[in-house]
Amino acid sequence: MARLLFTNKLEEYARRLGWVQNLLWRIEASMLAGMLHIFSRLRIERALRICKALLAWLGPVSPKHKLVLDNIDIVCPHQEQAMRTRIASDAWREVGALFGELTQFPSIVCSPHEYLQVESKCDLDPYRQRKRAGVFVSAHIANWELLLLVFTLERIPALAFYAPLQNPHLARLLTGIRAETGCLMHNRDASLKPVIRHVRDGGSVGTMIDVRIDGGLKVPFFGHDMQVSATPARLALRYGCDLIPYQCERLADGKLRATIHEPVSTEGLVGDETAKLRELSERLLRQVEDWVRASPTSWLMTTRRWERHLYPRTKGRASP
């Protein structure tokens, strides 16, 4: 949670002294482990209520709040200032709900149907039976971590990409939490050879598309180019995988719904491979735009996705 609240100025200084960096990493992981332990002893409703109130209080006074406001300006340019302020406050409460749910992962995994509804608008049998490989593509909306449960609940043989963390102690902690879902995980920065073998064997993949990847494809997203990974589109073009958007939504009662949509069409692609990759990625991002516009407060706003000049409040120093 610390990374969601604070900028990385202290970490930049700590890199110069290895022992300071390691100390900070251990403190960060220990704080998170302690909070997970404390909140895990509460009922889920109380844990979420406390975490939402905590982030609603801390978020707006943290350095990250400027980043949140800049992202809202990009995503909701036509909203009045009062509404943007309200969206920012509610976005922090959503971060609190995410953290609260992480503390309750064991309980949720033990009784997933009590907390997560799964609705499918496409036939999942070919993916269950390994007759077709699918690339399930989502975004950082509501609790995207719980989307890992979709593959387990629907009996789809899948592995999911994850972004590696610099803090090895925190990485081990989150790896343990994710392992409880029963879904296989693959480091986003590692070789794709295991992934290719997996899809050739009829397995499916889960990934996020709303992540800035330095050196990635430049694709329009909310009217501005964002650099994204070409991997989802490349798996579709080269290995015949279906591109399947799947979405997490928070319902009125606070619980979650995962909706698996119809595969994105791969028809009508023209140009060279790069042009086709860009077009497929744009089709996926247009889907994400619709989700975010429907519920901007549910989207993770504490990270930079576009070029630095679009972040005037941080004066071009928006954190990664």
**11 vs 273, more confident:** 273
3-class secondary-structure state, position 308: helix
Of residues 255, 259, 257, 300, the one with CA closest to residue 107: 255
Tokens for 249, please give them: 């939504």
Residue-by-residue DSSP string for 5-47: HS-SHHHHHHTTSHHHHHHHHHHHHHHHHHHHHHHHTS-HHHH
The per-residue pLDDT for range 214-242, each reduced to its tens digit, is: 999 999 999 999 999 999 999 999 999 99
| Paired sense of beta strands 204-208 and 158-162, if any | parallel
CB 96 within 8 A of CB 298: no
Residue 89 structure tokens? 């406050």
**Bridge partners, residue 256, by sequence:** 116, 250
User: Is the pLDDT confidence value at 253 over 60?
Assistant: yes
Strands 242-250 and 256-260: antiparallel
Q: Once rounded to an integer, what is the mean pLDDT over residues 239-265?
A: 95
pTM of the predicted model, to two decimals? 0.91
Mean pLDDT across the chain, nearest whole number?
Answer: 90
Identify the band that residue 170 occupies on the pLDDT scale cut at 50, 70 and 90.
Answer: confident
User: What pLDDT score does 13 carry?
Assistant: 55
Check whether 182 has a pLDDT greater than 60.
Answer: yes
The stretch 84-90 carries a mean pLDDT of 95
Using pLDDT thresholds of 50, 70 and 90, give the confidence band for residue 318. low
- Residue-wise pLDDT for 115-133, tens only, equals 999 999 999 999 999 999 9
- Rounded to the nearest 10 degrees, the angle between the axes of helix 273-294 and helix 231-239 is 130
pLDDT for the residue 194: 95
| Mean pLDDT for the stretch of residues 178-191 | 91
Summarised one tens digit per residue, pLDDT across range 192-214 is: 999 999 999 999 999 999 999 99
CA–CA distance, 212 with 206 (Å, rounded to integer): 17
What does R_g of the chain's alpha carbons equal in angstroms?
19
- Amino acid residing at 277: L
Q: Residue 320's pLDDT is what?
A: 54
The string of pLDDT tens digits covering residues 6-39 is 445 555 555 565 667 778 788 888 888 888 889 8
Q: For the residues 305-310, what does the mean pLDDT come to?
A: 94
Give all strands (DSSP E) within the chain, no chain letters: 116-120, 134-138, 158-162, 184-187, 204-208, 217-221, 224-228, 242-250, 256-260
Predicted pLDDT of residue 73? 96
**C-beta separation of 286 from 209 below 8 A:** no
**What number is the average pLDDT over the span 49-55?**
95
pLDDT at 137: 98
CA dist., res. 320 & res. 120, Å (int): 34
